[in-house]
Structure 1
Amino acid sequence: MLSSVVAVSLCATLSAVNASASQDDDWSRDFYWGVASSGYQSEGNAPDSNWKRFVDRSAGKDGVDEYRDSVDFRHRYADDIRLAAGLGVNTYRFGVEWARVEPSPGRWDETELAFYDDVFRQVRAAGMTPMITLNHWVYPGWALDQGGWAETRTADAWLEFSRKIVQRYAGQDVLWVTFNEPLIFLRNEQKVGALDATRYFAAQSNVVQAHRRAYDLIHELDPTSKVTSNQAYITGVNGMADWFFLDQVKDKLDFIGIDYYYGLSIDNWTVFAAASDKFWDVKLQPEGIYYALRSYHNRFPRMPLYIVENGMATDNGKLRDADYTRGDHVRDTVYWLQRAKADGMNLIGYNYWSLTDNYEWGSYRARFGLYTVDALADPALTRRPTDAVPAYQDLVTAGGVPQGYRLNRGPGLCSLVDGLNSCLNPAKVDGPLTPLK
């Protein structure tokens, strides 16, 4: 009897390992090179939502800008998709705004659904994989009126919205993102007055359960698709931050989605400027992306890893450093991605945030775009290429930087991105690189 139990257990273990191995190979791309955007941040013509209400009552106070029409992706999406395709990328991340397609409970706006249908069609026609985000921090005003994410009925309604969208695009190699940065989402819910501190843990529980249910729903409707929720990598304390979400959904992820922006080291503590949204004052340390990847690789050695967001903010488009441009930063970053791949990490994709400048949650001051847009001073909303456009084109074409590449910015002294582990076990800065192809 004992030997039978052991045999059954061993067979089950081997089946699980083999299933995991086949899942690792079941991808439509060898490597996903992408760009990213979100609905509210770029579309303009904003419908009633939690964020629209906050901006409408706050514009002109405490540095909050008028939203206006953002960069008007709603009417310029065809041109923006062409810009993305011109970079040579094979993946385009965008969001479907719940507030836009369901303006009142149970009433679907067919015109707005058709808008997203055409975005999807054009992304596919350009040869790019759609990565679709179902919650990028914005939801309908009527859902806010019923208590927002602290209420289970909001989670139930969001799942019906998700069903509607997944059914439209199932079977077409979509990469699905349920919640964008769940921990930061809930923090910002408090910022906009949509979540009382006393109900924080109720909202957290609802978001966790909504993701778990959405994962099962998506695989029911779109069995071959891949699902994640991208995590904001909280430098220095990420292990603790993951308790709020990732650790509670790790069995409901097909890949680990990571957003990495800011480093930390003994000689660089400027990351704290990001807490006050002064992203341009953070001294960039591209090597931190290696440690972020390594920390998840060590925890989930068989799980594919995808950098869903990474980029560089400037202050209203001003040059950050005389000797370090956006192009320099993206080259250095990709070097560290190739180093991670060479060191055995299962990295499958990288999205640059963002294709164009956009509304950075209250202000147009922080500029992240490969193409810069002056939303406040240029009525034409002209897309102007930064030096990162040809840099990124070259990286995508070549699969990264060449062997022997010399970093524009070397590593800091004793990285603390992954706590003491990144200091005590530093990454090597030489050796062969693995192309990302």
Structure 2
Amino acid sequence: MRAFSRLLACLIVAASLLAAAPANAAEPVAPLPDDFLWGVSSSGFQSEGSNPDSNWLRYSQEKEPVGNAVDFRHRYAEDIALAAAMGVEVYRFGIEWARVEPAPGEWDATELAYYDDVVAHITAAGMTPMITLNHWVHPGWVADQGGWKSDETLEDFTAYSERIVARYADSGAMWVTFNEATLYVYQEIDNGAATWFDAPWIFDRLAKAHNAAYDQIHAANPAAMVTSNLAFIPLSPWLFDAAFIDKIRNRLDFVGIDYYLGLSLDNLTAARALTGELADAQPDGIYYALRYYGGKFPDLPLYIVENGMATHDNAERPDGLSRTEFIEDHVYWIQRAAQDGIDVIGYNYWSLTDNYEWGSYTPRFGLYTVDALADPDLERRATDGVAAYTAVIADGGVPADYEPVVRASVCSLIDPPLSCLVPAS
């Protein structure tokens, strides 16, 4: 009842604001500091191709097949060069556990050497690697032993992370242990590998695995920055926090946030995501997400590890937003957050290229678009987002007088009631 009454109060106040809502909430913004980190994000399974046996290779056989993806496995030098040419400073990629340990205790020297070269190309280009140890994918032999329902998996992952950490501890890498742990567990349930009754024990093992990897990383390099990025879910972020991030809060060097969907009284389109449709963008929601986690973790810096815009096969979006407008609007609100004293240290766009979006090639997120189904050459073709992101990086953000294309929301439900009752403007 308390939650309902708080939401009701939020809606009552919002009703009085709706008619008088300003066309925009633009306020002059300062550039982000010189040490702010600009990056791009990607994952192994979604982009590498030639995938070995894994839980997701098996799932993909019941969906649109992953095939060769965009063949990052053999074109990584090209993609890393494209990122460097934009001025990118952080290149996030994932190491595929299934690729480097195809059988229990058997390590593939060729695939380890491949990741060595990926890291070498990133550092040679003057960028910092951001290494993800697990991006929803585990080896087929791990799936056969029950995945994260098994204590064996906790032991096996800890051995895997120890080997990878030792290999790249001197690279200056930033680290992500688990990508979006709450959605990782949801996907395992949705694909029939676990049940809701298994979830509490799976989260417990994931937390123990994160903590062990964190300790390994800091033993090897005390200065390393480690997180487990979270998928921001509006309306009740605290509920999802309790499942995982709260369990590991003492072993985080920064809070990694993935922000895609907003929610407000005048934008309830996030519900479309449940059916695979595109929700209308709500850029100011990134401000409220940052403000929420800035308050929750006042001693930790924040980093937007993923933020990106999908189109359906490059068709115009329902909200009419271009990739340029999406990037600039979100960066504007990050500048607003920094200006208001929120300790945000970096932003990664998802993703450098189009990729396999967990069952389909229809959603296109890439700064460079790639037709994985119809183009045998897998040509990387620049979208308008390339020039926009290049300019944003060079300028430290958008100009001081930038006017957001998407109007400020009326009664943000990102973190109700605060995000409604205390708006940014």
TM-score between the two structures when normalised by the length of structure 1: 0.88
* Deviation, structure 1 residue 321: 5.0
How far apart are 1:223 and its partner, in Å? 1.7
Contact 1:171 1:225 in 2 (8 A): no
Over 3 Å counting, the alpha-carbon distance change for 1:110 and 1:314 in structure 2 is same
Alpha-carbon distance in structure 1 between the residues aligned to 2:299 and 2:108? 42
Aligned to 2:101: 102
Residue of structure 1 in register with 2:119 after alignment: 120
Cα distance 1:322–1:209, how it changes in 2: closer, same or farther (>3 A)?
Answer: closer
Task: Give, in angstroms, the shift of residue 65 of structure 1.
Answer: 1.0
Aligned-partner Cα distance in 2 for 1:53–1:323: 36
For structure 1, the residue ranges without an aligned partner over 5 or more in a row are 1-28, 59-63, 429-437
Instruction: Pick from 39, 52, 55 the counterpart of residue 50 of structure 1.
Output: 55
Aligned residues: 392
The question of 1:427 aligning with 2:424 is answered yes
Q: What is aligned with 2:389?
A: 392
1:236-275 map, 5 Å: 236-275=235-274
Aligned with residue 362 of structure 1, among 341, 355, 359? 359
Match of 1:343 among 336, 340, 344: 340
Partner in structure 1 of residue 374 of structure 2: 377
Where do residues 189-204 of structure 1 align in structure 2 (5 Å cutoff)?
189-204=188-203
Contact 1:166/1:222, CA 8 A, preserved across alignment: no
Per-residue CA deviations over 1:251-289 (Å, capped at 9, x if unaligned) read 1100000000111111111101112332xx200010000
Structure 1 position 30 matched with structure 2 position 24: no
* Aligned-partner Cα distance in 1 for 2:194–2:117: 34
Contact 2:281 2:319 in 1 (8 A): no
Give the whole-Å Cα distance in 2 for the aligned partners of 1:277 and 1:330.
Answer: 22
- Give, in whole Å, the separation in 1 of the partners of 2:55 and 2:94: 16
For 2:128 and 2:276, locate their aligned partners in 1 and report how far apart those are by CA, in whole Å. 31
Residues 316-325 or 225-234, more deviating: 316-325
Q: Is the 8 A contact 2:44 2:95 kept in 1?
A: yes
Cα deviation for residue 422 of structure 1 reads: 0.7
Q: Distance in 2 between matches of 1:314 and 1:308?
A: 20
AA paired with 1:288?
A: G
**Counterpart Cα distance in 2 of 1:220 and 1:167:** 10
* Structure-to-structure mapping, 1:13-412, within 5 angstroms: 30-56=35-61, 58=62, 64-278=63-277, 281-321=278-318, 323-412=320-409
2:280·2:319 contact (CA, 8 Å) conserved in 1?
no
**Are 1:371 and 1:386, in contact at CA under 8 Å, matched by a contact in 2?**
yes
Q: Deviations over 1:383-411 (max 9, x none)?
A: 11111100000000000011111111111
- Quote the offset at 1:322 in angstroms: 7.6
Instruction: Please give the secondary structure, in 1, of the residue aligned with 2:345.
Output: strand
* Distance across 2 between alignment mates of 1:359 and 1:131: 20
Distance 2:197 2:400 in 1: 54
Q: RCO greater where, 1 or 2, for CA within 8 Å and sep 6 or more?
A: 2
User: CA deviation digits over 1:281-303, x for unaligned, max 9?
Assistant: 20001000000000011112221
The aligned amino acid for 1:126 is: A
Give CA deviations for 1:313-351 in whole Å, capped at 9, x if unaligned.
Answer: 111111215852010110010000000000001110000
* Contact 1:171-1:224 at 8 Å conserved across structures: no
- Counterpart residue identity of residue 88, structure 1: G
- What is residue 20 of structure 1 aligned with on the other side? none
Cα displacement string for residues 63-89 of structure 1 (whole angstroms, at most 9, x for unaligned residues)? x21211001100111100011001101
Q: CA RMSD in A?
A: 1.1
Which amino acid in the other structure matches residue 118 of structure 2? V
User: Equivalent residue of 1:198, what SS?
Assistant: coil
**Contact 2:368–2:380 (CA<8 Å) still a contact in 1?**
yes
**Secondary structure in 2 aligned to 1:52?**
helix
The secondary structure found in structure 2 opposite 1:170 is helix
Determine the C-alpha separation between the residues in 2 that align with 1:152 and 1:343: 44
Identity of aligned pairs, percent? 54
Residue 172 (structure 1) shift: 2.5
Equivalents in 2 of 1:136, 1:52: separation in Å?
13
Cα distance change on mapping 1:219 and 1:322 into 2, 3 Å = closer
Q: Report the CA distance between 1:196 and its aligned residue.
A: 3.0
Task: State the Cα deviation string for residues 82-115 of structure 1 (Å, max 9, x = none).
Answer: 1100110110000000000000000000000000
Inter-partner Cα distance in structure 1 for 2:298 and 2:123:
32
C-alpha distance after superposition, 1:131-163 (max 9, x if no partner): 000000000000111111011110111111111
User: Structure 2: any 5+ residue segments left out of the alignment?
Assistant: 1-33
Distance in 2 (CA, whole Å) between partners of 1:148 and 1:349 is: 33
Q: How far is the alpha carbon of 1:425 from its aligned partner?
A: 0.6
* Alpha-carbon distance in structure 1 between the residues aligned to 2:340 and 2:214: 30
C-alpha distance in structure 2 between counterparts of 1:285 and 1:141, whole Å: 38
- Whether the 8 Å CA contact 1:270–1:283 is kept in 2: the answer is yes
Work out whether residues 95 and 133 of structure 1, in 8 Å CA contact, stay in contact via their aligned partners in 2. yes
Q: In terms of mean alpha carbon deviation, does 320-329 or 45-54 score higher?
A: 320-329
Distance 2:114 2:353 in 1: 19
3-state SS of paired residue (1:132): strand
Contact 2:311 2:365 in 1 (8 A): yes
Query: Which residue identity does 2:119 align to in structure 1?
Result: F
Give the conservation status (yes or no) of the 8 Å contact 1:151–1:202.
no
Over 3 Å counting, the alpha-carbon distance change for 1:177 and 1:92 in structure 2 is: same
Measured in 2, the distance between the counterparts of 1:140 and 1:276 equals 29
